[in-house]
Structure 1
Amino acid sequence: MATDEETPLIVENPPTPTLNHKKDVHILCWAFLLIFLAYGATQNLESTINTEGDLGNISLGILYLSFTFFSVLASLVVKKLGSKIALILGTTGYWLFIAANLKPTWYTMVPASLYLGFAASIIWVAQGTYLTSTAHSHANDFNLHEGTIIGKFNGEFWGMFASHQLVGNLITLALLRDEKGGSTSGTTLLFIVFLCSMTLGTILMCFLSRRNGKEEGVQDSRVTFSSSVVSLLKAMSNLLLDIRILLIIPLIAYSGLQQAFVWAEYTKHIVKPTLGERGVGGAMAVYGVFDAICSLASGRLTFGLLSITIIVSAGALIQIVVLLWLLLGYSVAGGVLGTVYPLLIGALWGIGDGVLNTQLSALLGILFKHDLEGAFAQLKLWQSASIAVVFFISSSISLQTMVIILLVALCISVAGFLFLMLQIEKAFSYRAS
């Protein structure tokens, strides 16, 4: 049974904490909302507004390929800089990418995408490390159940983060106008508003508390960069020898595939034919609402590995239903159904995404708390690699083929995840006996 966050496991006067952990979580949530309402809405539009030479999809493919490469080194950078400085550094890539969209050419978008791949790898490893270490510290300071706090903090963060799709896409819906001939006006004003939002988010990051001790990863200055890289690669290789991470990797990769499906395929093949380019913002807003609600709810319901197993299984079942619908019975409809079907698909898909975001972060935080940077580097490495694949192949395969790929990947990943949970349960039962 879940332990309430405010009820201590041991009834005594808790030590006075040195940091306000909840305040830091709130700051982190608001900063990411301000940054990603801009980036998320821009990413949703890339495949529909930058169509010449497929510039939008190729730029995003380059971005996530760069993200994949730099994820290998991201944990080293986070350890060297500390999670707070790494978070601030990571925001610069998103700012540059939005600025490049003011003048979208190969000479602006490709360099911006390459740099954003580096910045994104830094900010996401730092986010996972910062949030999980904050949860550990809060649980220790107040003698609370660690798994419950990790679940609640992740639920709050991912719920707030998912709402960026609602806010950002409502701004898109308000500022963009569909013109005759299929063109879109208002993009310059939209990207200026987004740059202002990102600037506010970066400023807010500066008010985060520094995490001390090993949480900031203070390193001996005498250690050379090359020896640090060798040590990092050895640590990542050792982590890949852990059967737990090997069984989680397929689910991590699928979480990237299903995100990219929304950005590259859902908006282009399901939303645009019936709702138009301007309708992308509204559909993604619906997706974001359900993503946010599900993230908050699943975070509140997370108290350990058993709850994670149940929640992930439920989210996977919902996405399987959507994929089977798209594969066997979906067709572009007219009238009211033409509006309702894309929004319903977006809502159901948002529920699945909310589950995967919160539960994967909570799972890694529980199983790999002694190597948070390495675990979250693996998360972003495999996620970004699968996202890059989707953007590079999306223009050369049909929607039906993509749905089949997703369905197979989901079944394999859930099977591996359930096998892992079963083995862990057996291990606990054996120790208890």
Structure 2
Amino acid sequence: MAIIYAVFSASNLIAPSVIAVIGPQLSLFFSGVVYSAYIAVFIHPYTSSFYTLSVLLGIAAAVLWTAQGNLLTINSKDSTIGRNSGIFWALMQFSLFFGNLYIYLAWHGKSHITDKDRQTVFITLTVISLVGNFLFFLIQRPDPELAPSDDSESLLPADISDCGSVVASQSLGSQAWNAFKKSIELAMTKEMLLLSTAFAYSGLELTFYSGVYGTCLGAMTQFGENAKGLIGLSGILIGVGEILGGGVFGILDKCHRFGRNPVVFLGLVTHFVAFYLIFLNIASDAPVAPEEGTHMQAYIQPSVHVALICSFLLGLGDSCYNTQLISIVGFLFPEDSAPAFAVFKFVQSITAAVAFFYSNYLLLQWQLLIMVLVGFLGTVSFFVVEWTVIHSRRDSDYDSI
């Protein structure tokens, strides 16, 4: 995972160039093929192919996520970007629910996973992912709306390249270079610098809920023989929180009048409650415990119910944060969405890689403390961007009426 996210981070620098040259749909398709190949490796795993595909997956992930943000933005308006971000997030997180539910039911009570068990899962996942790759071609790409103007320079090539079209007057190399430069320029803007702390927090908590927390539950010997099975149940409840959050925030997007800040604040409070309960419930050495687990106890008698409630809260808080980050990036940079999402995923993935590295060495309370500090700073930074930039834009819209 550290290799994947390290390569993912670096590859975000070239992702906008790839999308500018071949368009977002082909970018999604070819990246998805790499995802399918990575899944297929586990049917008959070999060390060399496993690490090779991990590197290639990092590159593909950067292109795929940037193209996804680009397509989501060009198929949305300012008034619908929040709703569409919520719907997208909820649909994506259904994989957490159904995938972990299948694993829990199929492998429940098994102390050893046979080759046949593993192959059945990964053959199924490979076929599903390949079908999904071809469905990318059904995504609509609206033609760029050409605003009436006497000035021909108003028809910017960047507007057209955002929709995946090739501008005849520009060479492919020029388009790629311009997309790369735009990513660097956007990374230096005040809005992106402020949001980078929020991006970083999303990477840290991504690592925690997707890798660290499940490991902690499985290492708790005081949970009994079913401790390993809690990993699947935890994944299900994380998925339920993600789906509920994404669905609610998508459906109710037009109902809130106070912008994105209340949702982000809800996500922060939800995560802080989860972190506090985890601190009380899970042994401090659980992330670094040996294979046989830990016999230490935290500050309360370990409770399975509390542990699973925390899983739900982690998913709900993550959906609060990510749906609003996707929404604000698409809202702020509608004409440069590919470079903007590349910057977003660059910061997120590099902090995720760092977190996957230190999670093998730091005790639980220090990992929680890092997330609390970065989460607080990231939320404050998000508030500043929402208040200053978004509200000033709304004021200018009113003045122009």
**Which TM-score tier does this pair reach, normalised by the shorter chain?**
0.7 to 0.9
Question: Which residue in 1 is equivalent to 2:361?
Answer: 396
In the alignment, is the contact (CA less than 8 A) between 1:176 and 1:190 conserved in 2? no
Matches within 5 A, 1:6-405: 60-136=1-77, 146-147=78-79, 149-176=80-107, 179-180=110-111, 183-185=112-114, 186-213=117-144, 214=160, 215-220=162-167, 223=170, 227-273=174-220, 274=223, 275-303=226-254, 306-328=258-280, 330-331=282-283, 338-405=303-370
**Secondary structure of 2:361 counterpart:** coil
Q: Which amino acid aligns with 1:353?
A: D
Quick one: structure 1 residues 278 and 200, their matched pair in 2 at CA, closer, same or farther if it must change by over 3 Å?
farther
Q: After superposition, what is the alpha-carbon deviation per residue over 1:191-243, rounded to whole angstroms, capped at 9, x for unaligned?
A: 11211221221232232234444242323467556544542332122212311
More helix by share: 1
**Secondary structure of 2:228 counterpart:** helix
Paired residues in the alignment total: 362
Give the stretch that moved more between structures: 415-424 or 336-345.
336-345
Quick one: structure 1 residues 240 and 316, their matched pair in 2 at CA, closer, same or farther if it must change by over 3 Å?
same
Q: Which amino acid aligns with 2:381?
A: G
In the alignment, is the contact (CA less than 8 A) between 2:71 and 2:141 conserved in 1? no
In the alignment, is the contact (CA less than 8 A) between 2:65 and 2:345 conserved in 1? yes
In the alignment, is the contact (CA less than 8 A) between 1:178 and 1:184 conserved in 2? no
* 1:63 Cα offset (Å): 0.8
**Secondary structure of 2:43 counterpart:** coil
**Secondary structure of 1:172 counterpart:** helix
**Secondary structure of 1:397 counterpart:** coil
**Secondary structure of 2:335 counterpart:** coil
| Identical counterparts, % of pairs | 24
In the alignment, is the contact (CA less than 8 A) between 1:178 and 1:277 conserved in 2? no
TM-score when normalising by structure 1: 0.77
In the alignment, is the contact (CA less than 8 A) between 2:16 and 2:66 conserved in 1? yes
Q: Distance in 2 between matches of 1:169 and 1:272?
A: 18
**Secondary structure of 2:339 counterpart:** helix
Question: Which residue in 2 is equivalent to 1:21?
Answer: none
**Secondary structure of 2:14 counterpart:** helix
In the alignment, is the contact (CA less than 8 A) between 1:125 and 1:376 conserved in 2? yes
Q: Distance in 2 between matches of 1:305 and 1:221?
A: 43
Quick one: structure 1 residues 428 and 107, their matched pair in 2 at CA, closer, same or farther if it must change by over 3 Å?
closer
Quick one: structure 1 residues 353 and 426, their matched pair in 2 at CA, closer, same or farther if it must change by over 3 Å?
closer
Quick one: structure 1 residues 210 and 393, their matched pair in 2 at CA, closer, same or farther if it must change by over 3 Å?
same
Q: After superposition, what is the alpha-carbon deviation per residue over 1:263-304, rounded to whole angstroms, capped at 9, x for unaligned?
A: 221000135523433332221011101110111111223348
In the alignment, is the contact (CA less than 8 A) between 1:305 and 1:363 conserved in 2? no
Q: Distance in 2 between matches of 1:412 and 1:100?
A: 40
Quick one: structure 1 residues 317 and 290, their matched pair in 2 at CA, closer, same or farther if it must change by over 3 Å?
same
Q: Which amino acid aligns with 2:200?
A: A
Structure 1: gaps (5+ residues): 1-59, 137-145
Quick one: structure 1 residues 212 and 428, their matched pair in 2 at CA, closer, same or farther if it must change by over 3 Å?
closer
* 1:175 Cα offset (Å): 2.7
Q: Distance in 2 between matches of 1:277 and 1:416?
A: 38
Q: Distance in 1 between matches of 2:170 and 2:395?
A: 42
Q: Distance in 1 between matches of 2:72 and 2:118?
A: 34
Q: Distance in 2 between matches of 1:272 and 1:161?
A: 28
* 1:326 Cα offset (Å): 2.7
Q: Which amino acid aligns with 2:266?
A: A
TM-score when normalising by structure 2: 0.83
Q: After superposition, what is the alpha-carbon deviation per residue over 1:381-418, rounded to whole angstroms, capped at 9, x for unaligned?
A: 11111111122222122222211111111111112112
In the alignment, is the contact (CA less than 8 A) between 2:202 and 2:348 conserved in 1? yes
**Secondary structure of 1:206 counterpart:** helix
Let me know the Cα RMSD of the aligned residues.
2.6
Q: Distance in 2 between matches of 1:419 and 1:150?
A: 20
Q: After superposition, what is the alpha-carbon deviation per residue over 1:39-74, rounded to whole angstroms, capped at 9, x for unaligned?
A: xxxxxxxxxxxxxxxxxxxxx111111111111111
In the alignment, is the contact (CA less than 8 A) between 2:2 and 2:353 conserved in 1? yes
